[in-house]
Structure 1
Amino acid sequence: MKIKLAILESDVDFLKNYSIALSSRFSDKLEVYTFSNLENAMSALADSRIDVFLAGDNFEIDTSNIPEECGFAYLVDSNDIKSFKNEHTVCRFQKIDLIYRDILGIFSEKEYIVSGSNMANTNCKVLLFTGIEGGTGASSAAAACALYFAQNGKRVLYLNIEKFGSADMFFYGEGQYTMSDIVYNIKSKKSNLSLKLESSVKIDKRGVYFFSSPNLVLDLLELDIEDKKLLINTLVMSSQYDYIVIDCDFGMQKDDLELYSMANEIILVGDGSEISNDKTVRAIASIQILEQEKNMSICRKTMLLYNRFNNYTGRTIENLDMRTIAGIPPFENLNTQQIITKISGMQFFNVLE
């Protein structure tokens, strides 16, 4: 299904170039109609059943005449203009991919079911990283894993759902949406979550897809286990990604176990210290009991990854029926970006393919 897009702009040359750029880049996703006359544009909204209407900010639009099912925004000259005449805005002068994502965002806000989505791909693999003890670098390992797959030509999404996690520590991409927008869409029970996710995702220059950190930590805390399951299932079924790398807090409550059950592989990160190993052994023993009680399968798909592992002070856990991926040494005097780049180049993540 293509989104029907109408653009009203008085600058005919700009309108032509704008239309050509969108139609060329997104010919399979957009059906573009262009107008320089307000009356003609307004007539077409109902006659052609337009989905999204963009109008130059020099036009005076009576929004009461726009069909309810049609999304609307003004075209403005700066990304800093977030609202114009109490309506949404789209910056004229930005990358064409960002314009398309803005169009998707407007489209996804409408309260109707989007049909025709491609839900056939279930080959996406979900990898879940967590650490029993804080400070072992589980997030760095997860980000490095996402970077490894991206550098090997895979479409990979890094999804940080830790309480105090920040995807922006590891990746940077252009766009105005954050996880707060995702949370709002989920909690609003809107039926077009897949489109909202596609419009909100950012792309790091190294190829990793991610959602920017929420505006407030409290926003992410609003997500319960059913919300998280909906989010992950929608991402898996979207046909967009080969891998989804989830970075989450460790826990042993029922909700935590349900989240672990959704993963194809679970990577439990520790540092090999005496304290970390003791906590890991006791946690695994507890999970083994819980998964039997609740008829879940968790431990058999769990692997151990030792991060910041020192051969002199660290030890691998013996007599534990669980696979070990690798031991990552500590990196001194390197910043976060340098660390995840180093880890991503160590090649042991191929066991997760």
Structure 2
Amino acid sequence: MERLTVVLAGPDTEYLEMVLRFVRSSEFASALTIRAFSSKDNLATYLNTQSIPHVVLVEPDFLTADVSWTTLDNVILLVSSQYSKESERYPSLFKYQPIHQLLTKAKAMYLDKHEVVVEQALGNGHTKVVSFYSIVGGCGKTTAAINMSRQLSLGGNKVLYLSLETVSSSPAWFGTVPNQELAEILYYITSGNKQAASKLEQYRKTDSESGLHYLEPLTHLKEIEDVSREDVRGLLDIIVSSHSYDYVVIDCDSNFHARTIAALEYAHEVMLLLLDDIQCMYKTKAALTALRSENAELYQALHRKIHMVVNKYTGSMANRPEPDLFDIQGYLPYIPQWKNVTQGQQLSASREFNHQAMFLTSLFSQAK
């Protein structure tokens, strides 16, 4: 997609400079050319003599500038209150929201209005999709998936975390309130709407500490149960073909639902978590044995990319999986301090766990 030219206009020079500094040091540096004006005269000169910009973010007071506003169909008002009365002529955005969120919404509004389709080139091979899975719940799958995602992001990679669990705990990690944005993205996909990619860009969130991107999970049980194999593949196609990420980390449900199978099939790597527990080992063996018997094609596909990882490892094991199924390839340590946590952020504070989570990425290049 072409680089967008954005004009930002308003009397607050400190705000303008803050936005410019953010753009220069963020991912938007390669996506946007931004021009800022604190003078109505300078704004008028630019808009009346230069090529029409893709987006004009302007505070309402600057609409009095001597500009042929009727020739601009991409004007967005920057309002200082979330309760400002909506303009009949121009859409608006709240000025004091996080800058990343503001620019993402402005870009998405442009894409929607002009029906610009994000280019797709499936199978580009640049994005590695990693699915975290366990046969038995309670194996610490989400803890491992989010910690690896954060560490990859802190290491300079562009990472998206996606939860496909029936009931996801990721909002507790990120301190957010669940919403229906993912449901809207999936609706766009199933209805064949070409703007699904722009909705994805609009609704993704950013973890302020690590820079990790994530989507809020579905919250209604009926909606998540209705997500099909095709829905998941369509969503992942759009994410991968956006060329925006080095890694997509999927937090799968502990079942063989169609959406889970789709995530396992699509992934380049599957991290299968288990515990040194007789019930966990038995159920894992029983499920994989049944899969090998009933769906040999899927079993063989998984066999080539599964990495079996023992979580809550204490230094020795009383139980081991059958060697003819999968070998243990990694270990994540037991962290006693995690027995009593009150915030999801506390589960990212162990240097030992994070070091081992990053070590698991060395398994990705090991051929089977």
TM range (shorter): 0.7 to 0.9
Q: Does 1:266 align with 2:270?
A: yes
TM-score by length of 1: 0.77
Show CA shifts across 1:144-192 (max 9, x none). 2212322433222211121211333333689x99534533543453313
- 1:352 aligned partner: 364
SS at match of 1:90: strand
1:217/1:66 CA distance change after superposition, 3 Å: farther
Equivalences for residues 39-78 of structure 1 within 5 A: 51-58=54-61, 70=73, 73-78=76-81
Give the aligned residue type for 1:2.
R
Measure how far apart 1:125 and its partner are.
1.1
**Structure 2 counterpart of 1:328, from 332, 347, 356:** 332
SS at match of 1:197: helix
Identity %: 20
Whole-angstrom distance in 1 between the partners of 2:267 and 2:328: 17
Whole-angstrom distance in 2 between the partners of 1:115 and 1:312: 50
Whole-angstrom distance in 2 between the partners of 1:198 and 1:151: 21
* 1:101/1:199 contact within 8 Å kept: yes
1:216/1:66 CA distance change after superposition, 3 Å: farther
Unmatched tracts of structure 1, length 5 or more = none
1:27/1:142 CA distance change after superposition, 3 Å: closer
Whole-angstrom distance in 1 between the partners of 2:15 and 2:323: 68
Higher alpha-carbon deviation: 120-129 or 262-271: 120-129
* 1:307/1:328 contact within 8 Å kept: yes
Q: Does 1:130 align with 2:140?
A: no
Give the aligned residue type for 2:320.
T
Q: Does 1:288 align with 2:300?
A: no
Whole-angstrom distance in 2 between the partners of 1:189 and 1:36: 43
Whole-angstrom distance in 2 between the partners of 1:186 and 1:81: 32
Structure number with the higher helix fraction is 2
Higher alpha-carbon deviation: 216-225 or 149-158: 216-225
Equivalences for residues 138-177 of structure 1 within 5 A: 138-171=141-174
CA RMSD between the two structures? 4.0
Measure how far apart 1:303 and its partner are.
1.9
- 1:30 aligned partner: 32
Equivalences for residues 186-335 of structure 1 within 5 A: 186-204=189-207, 205-214=209-218, 216=220, 220-221=224-225, 223-253=227-257, 255-292=259-296, 297-309=301-313, 314-334=318-338, 335=341
Whole-angstrom distance in 2 between the partners of 1:168 and 1:50: 37
Q: Does 1:3 align with 2:4?
A: yes
Unmatched tracts of structure 2, length 5 or more = none
SS at match of 1:126: strand
TM-score by length of 2: 0.75
Q: How many residues end up aligned between the 2 structures?
A: 342
